[in-house]
Amino acid sequence: MSRLTNNRQNPLHTFLNRSAAMLGILLLCCGTAITANADTDKGLAISQEADKRNSGFVDFRAELTMRIVNTQGGESLRKLDIKTLEGVEEGDKTITIFTFPKDIRGSGFLTHTKKTTNDDQWLYLPSIKRVKKISSKNKRSPFFGSEFAFEDLSSQEVEKYTYHYLNDEVVDGLDSYVIQRTPNDPESAYSKLIVWMDKEHLQIRKIDYYDRKEALLKTLTASDYTLYEDKFWRASNLHMVNHQNKKQTFLVWENYRFNTGLKDSDLEQPALMRPLTGG
C-alpha cells in the first residue's frame, strides 16, 4: 500500500522503471536475433562445405534396386539404371531408366536441376511412346509407387533451401550436426526437413520430412557409406518410411562408376526414348 502511494507521488520513478523494463525487452530481442542469425549462418556454412566436398565428380553411373513394401507386408521389386552429369552453372542432370519388371521396363525419368528456379523434369512411358513434362505441382507425387516423391530424387542444390543450425546429436554412434532446411519453393511438399549430418565426412545420416501442416511425414535413413575415387562418399542403402501411411521403400545402390564420359546429349529428352539393350 505504501509503495503504491509512493509511485503515484513519483512519476519520475515510474518512468525510470518502465524505461528499464523496455530496455531489458529490447536487449533480450536483440540477443535472440543475434543468436538466430548465427545459427542461420552456421547451418548454411555446414551445408556449403558438404556440397563443396561432393563437387568435382564430373559424372557417374550406378545401378539401383528399389523394394517397395506395403502396409500388409507385400513387396514389389524394381531395378533402375542411373546416369548423372554434374552441373556447372546450374544443378546436376540425371536420367533414370527402369530395367525391371517387364511391365515398366524402358520407362524413364529425366531431371535438369535448377539452383533458384523450378527443376525441369520429364517422364517417358513406352506404353504411350511420348515424353511428358512434369509440372512443378506434380513433383510432390510418389515416384512409381514408392515413398520417394519426384522432388526427393532431384539434386539437392544448396540454393534450394534456407538453413538453421539446431544442435549436435549422436546418430548411429557418430557425432552429428542437426540442421533445419526450409524449402524456398512454395510448391514443395514439405514445410521443413530436419537433417542429421555426421561431422567427420559431412554425409547425411537421417532426414525427417514434415508436411505442409507441420506433421512428421517421412524419415529417410542412409547407411553403409563407401568412399569412391578417394573423395566421394556414397550411401549403399537408403530406407524411407512413411509415418502416415505406414509404407516403406528400400533403395540399394551398386556398381558406381565415376567420370565415365557422359555428354549433355546423354541427358536430354531423346535419350529417354532410346531402346534398351539386353534383358
Taking only the tens place, the pLDDT of each residue in 226-235 is: 999 999 999 9
pLDDT at 1: 42
Between CA 163 and CA 197 the distance in angstroms is: 13
Number of domains in the chain: 1
Domain assignment present for 26: no
Q: What is the mean pLDDT of residues 160-182?
A: 97
Q: Please report the pLDDT score of residue 11 as a whole number.
A: 62
Which residues, in sequence order, are CB contacts of 201 under 8 Å at separation 6+? 53, 225, 233
Please give the mean pLDDT across all residues of the chain.
89
| Nine cell digits for residue 118 | 523450378
pLDDT at 50 over 90: yes
Q: With bands split at pLDDT 50, 70 and 90, how would you rate the model's confidence at 154?
A: confident
Asked if residue 19 is part of any domain, the answer here is no
Query: Does 266 fall in a domain?
Result: yes
- Percentage helix, strand, coil, to 5, in the chain? 25, 45, 30
**Is 1 within a domain?**
no
Residue 94: inside a domain: yes
The boundaries of the domain holding residue 63 are: 37-272
Q: What's this model's pTM, rounded to 2 decimal places?
A: 0.84
Please check the confidence at residue 6 and state whether its pLDDT lies above 50.
no
Cell of 202: 559431412
Secondary structure tally for the chain: helices H, strands E = 3, 13
- Tell me, yes or no, whether 10 lies in a domain: no
Q: Is the pLDDT of residue 269 over 80?
A: yes
Q: Which of 11-15, 41-45, 254-258 has the lowest mean pLDDT?
A: 11-15
* Band of pLDDT at residue 201, cut at 50, 70 and 90: very high
Q: Please check whether residue 187 is in contact with residue 137, taking contact to mean a CB–CB distance below 8 angstroms.
A: yes
Residue 9 lies in a domain: no
30 or 273: whose pLDDT is higher? 273
Give the CATH number, domain containing residue 189. 2.50.20.10
Give the confidence band of 116 by pLDDT, cuts at 50, 70, 90. confident
Lowest mean pLDDT among 60-64, 75-79, 122-126: 122-126
Is 189 a member of any domain?
Answer: yes
> What percentage of the chain has pLDDT greater than the value 70?
86
The pLDDT of residue 145 is above 80: yes
Residues 6+ away with beta carbon under 8 Å from 107: 97, 98, 123, 124, 125, 126, 144
Q: What pLDDT, on the 0 to 100 scale, is given for residue 277?
A: 66
